[in-house]
């Protein structure tokens, strides 16, 4: 649970940083799958470092293997037989987990913050301030920031610069 709380504090710090009005840039590495709009589906046999959907849901089918999953304005579904090595995070969405998640799970929705540690212990609730609830503040700020995000793809240095490789990477960042 200690890693979960540390991770949650890091997320809160990132959200606080999102209060500024600077633009948002999300860069996908060569082993990442990133989409701004549209459902992200990871099929059996596919492996990614980070799977990020900025305006839809993520579904991992049996046999899929990823390190981290983030969904904003969408749910995260981990089917039986799918594996997440580290964490899943959803903002304005829910988790549906039948597969394996070795790390923590964080759900932030208006009215609810739910943290589950790698040990299976969980913490749920919300904090209310004079100007509103923490969950509402977090969701509003993240959604505001995501709407302005620009996506960039980083290509591996050793990757051959073929049209096929470039097309494959471009398709991942739709």
Listed in sequence order, the residues at least 6 apart from 129 whose beta carbon sits closer than 8 Å to its beta carbon are 137
pLDDT in tens, 2-33: 444 444 544 554 455 444 545 677 777 889 99
Asked if the model's pLDDT at residue 167 lies above 50, the reply is: no
Asked if the model's pLDDT at residue 94 lies above 50, the reply is: yes
- What pLDDT is recorded for position 142? 83
- Helix, strand counts (H, E) of the chain: 3, 17
Say how far apart CA 82 and CA 128 lie, in whole Å.
Answer: 36
Residue 93 has what DSSP assignment? S
Nearest to 12 by CA among 170, 124, 117, 134: 134
Say how far apart CA 154 and CA 26 lie, in whole Å.
Answer: 10
Query: Integer distance in angstroms from the first to the last C-alpha of the chain?
Result: 35
Listed in sequence order, the residues at least 6 apart from 106 whose beta carbon sits closer than 8 Å to its beta carbon are 4, 7, 8, 11, 87, 88, 89, 90, 113, 114, 115, 116
- The pTM of the full predicted model, rounded to 2 decimals, is 0.72
- What pLDDT is recorded for position 164? 35
């Amino acid at each position: 649970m200690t890693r979960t709380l540390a991770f949650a504090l890091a997320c809160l710090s990132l959200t606080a940083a999102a209060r500024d009005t600077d633009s948002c840039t999300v860069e996908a590495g060569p082993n990442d799958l990133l989409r701004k709009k549209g459902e992200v589906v990871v099929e059996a046999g596919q492996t990614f470092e980070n799977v990020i959907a900025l305006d839809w849901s993520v579904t991992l089918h049996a046999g899929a293997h990823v390190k981290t999953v983030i969904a904003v304005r969408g749910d995260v579904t981990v089917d039986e037989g799918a594996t997440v090595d580290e964490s899943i995070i959803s903002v304005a969405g829910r988790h549906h987990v039948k597969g394996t998640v070795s790390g923590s799970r964080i759900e932030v929705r208006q009215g609810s913050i739910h943290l589950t540690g790698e040990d299976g212990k969980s913490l749920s609730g919300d904090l209310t301030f004079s100007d509103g609830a923490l969950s509402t503040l977090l969701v509003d700020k993240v959604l505001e920031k995501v709407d302005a995000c620009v996506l960039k793809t980083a290509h591996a240095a050793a990757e051959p610069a073929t049209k096929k490789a470039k097309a494959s990477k471009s398709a991942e960042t739709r």
